[in-house]
Amino acid sequence: MQIEDDEILQGFIEESLEHLADIETDLLAIEKAGANIDENLVNKVFRAAHSIKGGAGFMGLTVIQELSHAMENILGMIRSRKLVPNPEIVNILLQGSDKLESMINNILSSNDEDITEHLVPLNAIADGNTCQAAAPKPIADPVVDAAPEALINKAALPEPVQQEVAVPVPPKPEPIVPPVSMTPMPAMSPAADEVNSPAQTPQPKADTSIRVPVSLLDSLMTLAGELVLSRNQLLQTIGSNDLRNAEAVGQRIDLITSELQEAIMLTRMQPIGNVFSKFPRVVRDLSKQLNKTIELTIVGNDVELDKTIIESINDPLTHLIRNSVDHGIEMPADRKLAGKSDKGIIILKAYHEAGQVVIQIHDDGKGLDGEALAASAVSKGLITAEQSMIMSDKEKVNLIFLPGFSMAKKVTDVSGRGVGMDVVKTNLDKLGGQVDILSAVGSGTTISIKLPLTLAIIPCQIITTGGERYAIPQVNLEELLRIPANQVKQRVEKVGNAEVVRLRGNLLPLIRLADVIEADRTYWDQKEAGQKEDRRGSIADRRGKISPFFKTTHKEQEEENESITAERSGTDRRLSASSALNIVVVSTSSMKYGLIVDRLQDSEEIVIKPLGRHLQQCKGYAGATIMGDGRIALILDVSNLARMAHLTSIDGTDRANEVALAAAELTRTQKDKQALLIFRSSEQEQFTVPLNQVERIEKIKRSEIENMGGKRVMQYRGGSLALVTIDDLSTVHPLADQDDLLVIVFNICSKPVGLLAIGPIDAIEITSEVDGVTLRQPGIMGSIIIDGHTTMFVDVFEIVQTLYPNWFAEKPVFDVDKNSGIVPTILIAEDSNFFRNQVKSYMTESGYKVIEGADGAIAWELLQKHFDEISILVTDIEMPNMNGFELTETIRKDPKYNKIPIIALTTLAADEDIAKGKAVGIDEYHIKLDKEKLMSCVHDYIKRVF
């Protein structure tokens, strides 16, 4: 066959592929509609087939022509309602379009293809002996089997189209990510196995052209014009040596460049719908094959992502979707047994979140059993039994990503999943994406993938180590941490060979960047503004060491002497700013760790450039970038750095655990931390409320306050906000007479209420004990000493309750059960007298009986003694002797007591704590002094018990 014109041929290929992509979606819609034929839709498919036929005829592609002609015939019959589309017919049409696609992708050999297997059923349908000729059963097997196979073929092994077509392929966009050497994904079904195995080196199919809206091109052109103008201005300015003007031109160029950058990025953006559109077919075919009923809902088709990402996200997504269909959703019978609808639901969702795109795959299937996964990982020797003991449920579920986990087929039997997930994760890692699994046994699995919008330009944190600059991608960045020299010793600890830092109660493994990449260890001397060699053996060791193994040069010796004299003369060099630790807290999808660097610099948007092949062996770098001064900075690959430092999340937990125990001991002896908002009502007195009760703070003018029916109100968010002052109820100085006031908004009884106050306001964390006796009066819970000032603890609840008693009319006071006469009893475990009394007063007010214990151990004894009476436990977390977690664990272990509801009270609810609490068996978490929520929760539980 003679192909006359490459350009025309290429045009035909592109157009036909576009048509085919639509045909698939449309055919599925036609199938769904059944007898209720949508003519427009059928017409559209008909025209698509017709165009392909026409084009193929013109190009002399006879086989393609023949097949599309046969398909067109049937579509014509459907259009004229001579034929009702049923799944078999649609199947045959779908296979036809698959075949067309594969032929078009291999256009030069298309005329040698044998298409009788498609033509026979097509013509049979056209001849009118549809369902009879192709009896449902014989068709079901070959047809349904073949379809997913063809699909896998398409998805997993894109044929090297470009090589065969004699069309100049423009150089691929910079391989931003080192070309993904995709290991063929281990398949899930034997059928897929056969298909997958032959192709060892699939290469991502890259489109050679891309569609860009003309309006975008126009704006690009305008920007380019502007850029030229600015360049001319710049040249002129340089010639005239006019510095002031230069600044203006500089700004202009800066602006235009950023706009140009954005516009060019837009040209690369593609809707994710391009990838999503094939999944209805995947789910349809696969669920048929497995005899499952599954409904796939797709949300967010129009979310746009960079072309490179769109191209590489295809395989991992296909894999995950297939997993959901194959292993996630149970058989209809099992679903019914589990009390679910027999139709499984898979939701595929894409949306923007915090500058990233999140793709979520949710199924309502059987979920992942963390225990089973952990057991299997232990049996494979991937983790030790001890490690599995201390892992949270989430960590266990995420074990599925461990390399090596997928190797054994057994996992499938135990838990259903785990096949090739490490490959999915590796591929996503390469895209700078993060993947996370949430799963609940019995109710389903949600896999979230977070992806950057683009790979070409990324924001990075620049740091210096060993005199060189490095860039850490912002996506990996959690926070920056500086430990002052005088705290290094307390906060950095050594566990075995690993160093960890205590960060808000958690332990974070530390890696010294210089050690991992074997750069020179230096530190930055601020006084002399220069870097110096660092001779510290370990981080906590702040004294320079002269090792007998290293010959110290004369100069260094001198320096050492100098520093010693300096120390003696009182200015201890060890305590100078230079000894402080700069830590970049980074997170990978599996773990979080601290990277110690010499200096932190700016955050910059950088362009990623690939490293040459001689440097591919350096796993610590994701690429390089060119900085403003023309020099190069290497981009760090934080997950590989962790690997190089032999730090795995499991290791980290393991190591950290030992220290965590010690740390817990320490915090246990400490008092609770309270976050408080400090404010004044009059100049003379200082007040405080728990920060977490405050909804927001507004600045207002006194004139905004209106007096209505004896109450003060103001307009607020389209309604009236009731205003109160502390002196409405309490004997304190009246509200200061000034024009600028603050309104602290609380939410009480689901109504907003504003407390009038004046500044200055401040938020602090404090551990002092609240005195609930001395200054107690209506509206004032007690007092606390903050920075030497006696501060009154305001009870907003009480104030509102007194001023607006009608708000509380429906307050659920527990009625003593008329029949049994039993008063529900609540056990409170709390070490602080103040809080204990406070909580107790809430309970007694509501009509409950209260038993109190001053710590976990006492509460445990009380529980055993009074178990028959106690219906609920309200416990503090931080307590001496036995803390809330331990108390809960103890209770949950005892079959006699393990049914009792446990509500935990905390002052600062950290996510980790909540997770830990849930893990040991705490039912609910509530913030101390949030009376309303606590009580409604207690009521709920009591109602259930009685």
Partner 1 sequence: MNQTKPTTNKTLVELATFYVGEALCGMDILNIQEINRLMDMTKVPQAPSYVTGILNLRGQIVTIIDLGKKLGLGSTDATLSSRNIIVSSPGEHVGLLVTRLSDVVSADTEKIERAPANMGGIQGEFFSGVYKTDDKLIGILDINKVLRLEEHGH
Rounded CA separation 25/19 (Å) = 10
Cβ closest to partner 1, residue 321 vs residue 517 = 517
Rounded CA separation 898/883 (Å) = 17
Contact between 311 and 173 under an 8 Å Cβ cutoff? The reply is: no
As measured in angstroms, the least distance from the Cβ of 518 to partner 1 is 5
Rounded CA separation 842/932 (Å) = 9
Structure tokens at 282: 């995947």
Cβ closest to partner 1, residue 299 vs residue 632 = 632
Helical axes 62-79 vs 39-59, angle rounded to 10°: 160
Cβ closest to partner 1, residue 642 vs residue 744 = 642
Cβ closest to partner 1, residue 29 vs residue 611 = 611
Buried b / exposed e over 104-129, threshold 16 CB at 10 Å, is: bbbbeebeeeebeebbebbebbbeee
Say if strands 825-829 and 870-876 run parallel, antiparallel, or are unpaired.
Answer: parallel
As measured in angstroms, the least distance from the Cβ of 614 to partner 1 is 5
As measured in angstroms, the least distance from the Cβ of 471 to partner 1 is 12
Cβ closest to partner 1, residue 398 vs residue 464 = 464
As measured in angstroms, the least distance from the Cβ of 466 to partner 1 is 7
Cβ closest to partner 1, residue 138 vs residue 179 = 179
Q: Which residue has the tokens 């809902």?
A: 297
- Catalogue the E-assigned strands of 637-727: 674-680, 686-690, 694-701, 706-708, 711-716, 719-724
Cβ closest to partner 1, residue 33 vs residue 632 = 632
As measured in angstroms, the least distance from the Cβ of 624 to partner 1 is 5
Q: Which residue has the tokens 């009923």?
A: 293
Nearest C-alpha neighbor of 722 from the set 706, 737, 735, 738 = 706
**Helix spans in 721-879 (H):** 796-803, 833-845, 856-865
Cβ closest to partner 1, residue 612 vs residue 709 = 612
Taken in order 404, 405, 408, 409, the sign of the CA dihedral is negative
As measured in angstroms, the least distance from the Cβ of 650 to partner 1 is 25
Planar angle of CA 244, 247, 250, nearest 5 degrees: 150
Cβ closest to partner 1, residue 135 vs residue 626 = 626
How many angstroms separate the Cα of 679 from the Cα of each of 153, 242, 744? 68, 53, 9
Cβ closest to partner 1, residue 623 vs residue 901 = 623
Contacts of 731 (CB under 8 A, 6+ apart): 777
As measured in angstroms, the least distance from the Cβ of 631 to partner 1 is 6
Q: For 187-200, give the DSSP string.
A: PSSHHHHHHHTT-S
As measured in angstroms, the least distance from the Cβ of 461 to partner 1 is 18
Cβ closest to partner 1, residue 56 vs residue 624 = 624
Cβ closest to partner 1, residue 405 vs residue 621 = 621
Binding site for partner 1 (CB under 8 A): 466, 468, 517-519, 609-618, 620-621, 624, 626, 630-634
As measured in angstroms, the least distance from the Cβ of 642 to partner 1 is 15
CB neighbour class for 85 (10 Å; exposed up to 12, middle 13-18, buried from 19): buried
As measured in angstroms, the least distance from the Cβ of 361 to partner 1 is 35
How many angstroms separate the Cα of 799 from the Cα of each of 680, 713, 726, 911? 16, 15, 7, 32
Rounded CA separation 136/546 (Å) = 85
Q: Go through the chain and tell me how many residues it has.
A: 946
Cβ closest to partner 1, residue 468 vs residue 567 = 468
Contact between 744 and 714 under an 8 Å Cβ cutoff? The reply is: no
Rounded CA separation 858/845 (Å) = 24
As measured in angstroms, the least distance from the Cβ of 602 to partner 1 is 18
As measured in angstroms, the least distance from the Cβ of 613 to partner 1 is 6
Secondary structure of residue 826 in the 3-state scheme: strand
As measured in angstroms, the least distance from the Cβ of 323 to partner 1 is 35
Contact between 553 and 533 under an 8 Å Cβ cutoff? The reply is: no
